Structure 1
Amino acid sequence: MQSFQESVAVSTLALEKAALSKTQVIAATTLGTALEFYDFTIYSFFAIQIGQIFFPSASPVNQFLLSIGVFGVGFVVRPLGGIVIGAYADRAGRKKAMVLTIMLMALSCALIACAPTYAVAGMAAPLIVLVARLIQGFAAGGEFGPGTTLLVEYASDSTRAFFASWNFAATALGLALGAAVATLINVTLPKDAVLAWGWRIPFVLGIVAAPVGMLIRRRLEETLSDASSRGNQQRGALKAALTTHLKLTILGTFAELGGSVSVYITAFFLPSHAVRTLHLSSTASVASGVISSLVLFVAAPVAGKLADRFSRKRVLVVSRMILLLSVYPAFAWLSAQPSAFMLCAVSAFLALFIAGQIVPVLVMIPELFPKHVRATGIALTYVVSASFFGGFSPFVASWLVALTGNPLAPAWYVAAACAVSLVPVIWLRDRTGEALN
């Protein structure tokens, strides 16, 4: 028995130490990120059932609002997770940070999947779900900085944008996977079964998938050298990002603004807007969400290839200008001829140019930060932009529609965000093809 256990231990160690090819590095990072964003977003697809189970004494409307409120706390702590885990990645290593985030996400899924109902545990039940969402938000915020940094540092000078693009593609894949699983459960199970236990299945899947992602990530090669780590311990990555590199941090955050607003309006607001305002079916809404996510997944690496070949700024500015000029006609076209096909077509069209403006910025920022601040820098710029500008976009868009009575008002909001985020790009240096310091 002992010899068998020793053989298993040796085999596992050999597997972990085996060098990964560049394709395997992309796959390892992408798989983990996709699983994390699947875990982070799957809650939203079962917000109604969770509200009924954990807030049974509230009215149906308040049940949904309370459930969505618990979902929203995940966005509130995402910047904190990005800062803390980003700094940890700059101190202890990218690989350790990425293993930590997937462990935290598995823990949060386990808490939700096994949470007792309100009828069993009273107020302790929603508190457990709240704690789980806080952990999910913290982990999701901490995922992007180390993952993007590792891909950028692992790539060659001529492939950095392509490598970095896969971390954004992975978030889109996670969204599509969550929507697909939610649709499958709602279609195959009776409503009573979904309410009783079916809503827990996606979270159980999140627990099961986590060990696979952890094993693969442990095989990744660390890209943070001991010298860089020691330099970071002396100076402090967060302090450096907010003092020495404050200008770059601010410019990067606002350069990300247009992409963050655009992706949240397209992926989250537009499907629900089509149901509430254009009176399309919920099936059409889910289908448009899946299609836009899949288009983002495919378009992101294409945008990365183009950014490596034609420069980051050229791809970014062209994509952002096209989106700025076309978002209002696209919304107007959908409002004039509302249908499932039009909704999916508009979502897919917008997703193409959203990928074209997010990916170039995603690689420009870490290219400009020094190595010992890189993970913290990308976390501050991307996660803060995505959480505050992006996360609040559906609320702002809904408020604009209610205030103006114009269903096309969100299009002006997206156009304005794209215009504003073009300005800081002027001061960002384009390092296409240059050696990474």
Structure 2
Amino acid sequence: MVSSVERREKVKSIFIVSSGNFLEMYDFMVFGYYAKAIGETFFPTSNEFASLLLSLMTFGAGFLMRPVGAVVLGAYIDRHGRRKGLLLTLALMGLGTLSIACMPGYAQIGLVAPFLVLIGRLVQGLSAGVEVGGVSVYLSEIATKGNRGFYVSWQSASQQIAVVFAALIGLVLNAMLPIEQINAWGWRIPFFIGSALIPFLFIIRRLLQETAEFEAQKVRPTASQVFASVGRNLPTIVLGALMAEMTTVFFYMITAYTPTYGSSVLDLSPTSAMLVTLCVGLSNFALLPIMGALSDRVGRQPLLITCALLAIVSGYPALSWLAAQPSFGRLLAVELWLALIYAGYNGAMIVYLTEVMPPRVRTAGFSLAYSLATAIFGGFTPALATYLIAATDNPAMPGAWLSAAATISLLATLLLSRGAAKRAAAGIA
């Protein structure tokens, strides 16, 4: 039994370790919400679609650095500890957020502006590459017996607080400023708010204690040993990345892309689209710990398979129904349905990914798998969705991408589970 004192300490640790995770997701959400305004500021063209696409491609470019951060910073964390690594990632994330908040636009400094914005995104992506993995591994290592899914689910739940917070700021801005002023300069306000939170988040993360499991490791791998182990476990990492594809695609579709999709594609008001995003964040925050706990009771695989099948059969039909007669009610219903599928899948997937990685390179292996999924699939989902709609003149086409991602993840889950079962039968850790 866990004493009340131990329980309070674990709750405190969950809050502290998730704080930086909040900043990472807040930064990406704000960029996604104001992609159109950012495009007009840094990538002005005579074609509104081209400007938006360049902005979304820059949003996705940050994800290309995630695999690099996963390996390099993941090796640092596996060598020097979870606490030191998570402090470093927070500092890099803060730098990325501050850079875009203060960056002059194209009209002021020309081509230097989009170049520096891209650099800021790459730095942010480097740190984010290991943030999710570092937090997830930390939570898995402090979890009480039989509750690992519940504990690890708070990594994703903390991201939903960022979604809600960013959406609330967006709603306030929409109420206080006309759209012309938001597009001109108001979009910077959320980035300045995120920058102002950095000192507070850094102070509380310094209170983080190292995990007992890491401290118990008598031999800690060097960077070269981590890289070699990652190479040996590459098939598992690749399958893990494909298994994580559905999570990353769904997440960025129902959060970062929703305001742009609702206003630019469905012609709903920006306030309506932002309100839907707020509801999605609240729904995910409530559902993720429930689904994580459910995976502790029924197992990871049943949830993964069930949710993937639901995504395959309902992705395109749901968006077709929405596109046939766009409205606030339909957008809310579709997004909440997709959020339910996402929460069920993610609640089992994140913890399962920590369980299939070798302990000595758990952070690097997990982070690389998740970062590959985000870099290749999730981060470019808003840009890909925009392209698919323009290429086919069909506003429901993002639903086909959701179903395709779920199909790939389902196959990867089955292969990864079979491999894990074979290793367990052979007694291989």
TM-score by length of 1: 0.85
Indicate which of 6, 14, 18 corresponds to 1:30. Answer: 18
Over residues 314-359 of structure 1, what are the superposed CA-to-partner deviations in whole Å (9 max), with x where a residue is unaligned?
Answer: 2222222223233344223323442101101110111011111122
| 8 A contact 1:40–1:140 mirrored in 2 | no
Q: Is it true that 1:237 corresponds to 2:226 in the alignment?
A: yes
Over residues 373-415 of structure 1, what are the superposed CA-to-partner deviations in whole Å (9 max), with x where a residue is unaligned?
Answer: 1001111111211221222333444444445444443333322
Over residues 101-125 of structure 1, what are the superposed CA-to-partner deviations in whole Å (9 max), with x where a residue is unaligned?
Answer: 1111222222223334455544444
1:391 aligns with 379
Q: Is it true that 1:21 corresponds to 2:21 in the alignment?
A: no
Higher-Rg structure is 1
Q: Is it true that 1:148 corresponds to 2:129 in the alignment?
A: no
Q: Is it true that 1:225 corresponds to 2:214 in the alignment?
A: yes
Task: Evaluate the alpha carbon distance shift between residue 117 and residue 324 of structure 1 in structure 2; reply closer, same or farther with a 3 A threshold.
Answer: closer
| 8 A contact 1:320–1:356 mirrored in 2 | no
Aligned ranges 1:17-416 → 2 under 5 Å: 21-55=9-43, 58-59=45-46, 61=48, 63-118=51-106, 120-191=108-179, 193-194=181-182, 197-223=185-211, 225=214, 228=217, 230-233=219-222, 236-243=225-232, 245-269=233-257, 271-416=259-404
C-alpha deviation, 1:150, in angstroms:
0.2
| 8 A contact 2:99–2:117 mirrored in 1 | yes
C-alpha deviation, 1:311, in angstroms:
0.9
| Higher mean C-alpha deviation, range 150-159 or range 126-135 | 126-135
Gaps of 5+ in 1: 1-17, 432-436
C-alpha deviation, 1:297, in angstroms:
1.8
C-alpha deviation, 1:170, in angstroms:
1.8
Task: Evaluate the alpha carbon distance shift between residue 390 and residue 191 of structure 1 in structure 2; reply closer, same or farther with a 3 A threshold.
Answer: closer
For the residues of structure 1 that align with 2:104 and 2:385, how far apart are their CA atoms? 36
| 8 A contact 1:49–1:195 mirrored in 2 | yes
Gaps of 5+ in 2: 1-5, 424-428
Task: Evaluate the alpha carbon distance shift between residue 214 and residue 392 of structure 1 in structure 2; reply closer, same or farther with a 3 A threshold.
Answer: same
Percent identity reads 36
Residue identity matched to 1:73? A
1:11 aligns with none
| 8 A contact 2:60–2:375 mirrored in 1 | no
| Higher mean C-alpha deviation, range 118-127 or range 379-388 | 118-127
Task: Evaluate the alpha carbon distance shift between residue 290 and residue 229 of structure 1 in structure 2; reply closer, same or farther with a 3 A threshold.
Answer: farther
Task: Evaluate the alpha carbon distance shift between residue 417 and residue 192 of structure 1 in structure 2; reply closer, same or farther with a 3 A threshold.
Answer: closer
Residue identity matched to 1:140? A
C-alpha deviation, 1:303, in angstroms:
0.6
Residue identity matched to 2:142? Y
Over residues 13-56 of structure 1, what are the superposed CA-to-partner deviations in whole Å (9 max), with x where a residue is unaligned?
Answer: xxxxx996111111112222112211233223333444444456
Residue identity matched to 2:287? A
Q: Secondary structure at the match of 2:140?
A: helix
2:426 aligns with none
C-alpha deviation, 1:293, in angstroms:
2.3
Task: Evaluate the alpha carbon distance shift between residue 31 and residue 123 of structure 1 in structure 2; reply closer, same or farther with a 3 A threshold.
Answer: same
Residue identity matched to 1:59? S
Residue identity matched to 1:263? F
Q: What is the number of residues matched between the two proteins?
A: 413
